[in-house]
Amino acid sequence: MRFALAVVGGAIVQLVPYLRADTPALLAIAYLLFAALGAGFFAGHRPWLAGALSVLLGAALYGVVSQLGYRTEGGTTLGDFFTAETGLVLGIVPYAFFGALAGIAGGWLRARAVGAAR
């Protein structure tokens, strides 16, 4: 349960730079990696997976939120939605790798913090 909460929490936090158009790219990437680090920290086990999944889920959530706000004259079909989501998730895969590395760093920080507390 803690793993799932860490992944979902990290993904929701990543919506902030995605939804703001005035966020510089480097700041958005740093924000994304910091959220992945937090997901790895709070996940407990498999921090690398928590970091990577938080990045992928954050992109998927952004796609859902942006498609809900997108209105066209003919309407958005289910096929259009899945095409946009697939392109977005495939485009974010390289960032998921760095999210996994940030998750490893978060797990390492957790091990250091828990070890120091004992």
Q: How far is CA 99 from the centre of its chain?
A: 8
Inform me whether the pLDDT recorded for 10 exceeds 80.
yes
Inform me whether the pLDDT recorded for 47 exceeds 80.
yes
Average pLDDT over the chain, rounded to whole? 87
Inform me whether the pLDDT recorded for 102 exceeds 70.
yes
Q: Kindly compute the dihedral angle of the four CA atoms of residues 84, 85, 90, 92, in this order, to the nearest 10 degrees.
A: 110
Query: Which residue range(s) make up the domain with 38?
Result: 2-117
pLDDT at 80: 73
pTM: 0.83
pLDDT at 75: 65
Quote the CA–CA distance of 108 and 3 in Å, as a whole number.
Answer: 16
Inform me whether the pLDDT recorded for 91 exceeds 90.
no
Q: Who has greater pLDDT, 23 or 71?
A: 23
Q: Who has greater pLDDT, 55 or 64?
A: 55
pLDDT at 25: 86
Report, as an integer, the average pLDDT of 87-100: 88
**Which letter, b or e, does each residue of 80-118 get, where b requires 16 or more Cβ atoms within 10 Å of its Cβ?**
eeeebbeebbeebeebbebbbbbbbbbbeebeeeeeeee
Inform me whether the pLDDT recorded for 73 exceeds 70.
no
Longest CA pairwise span in the chain (Å): 61
Distance between start and end Cα atoms, the chain: 24
Q: How many domains does the chain have?
A: 1
pLDDT at 70: 66
pLDDT at 33: 93
Pick from 3, 16, 15, 106: nearest CA to 53:
3
Q: Which two tokens stand for residue 53?
A: 């999944």
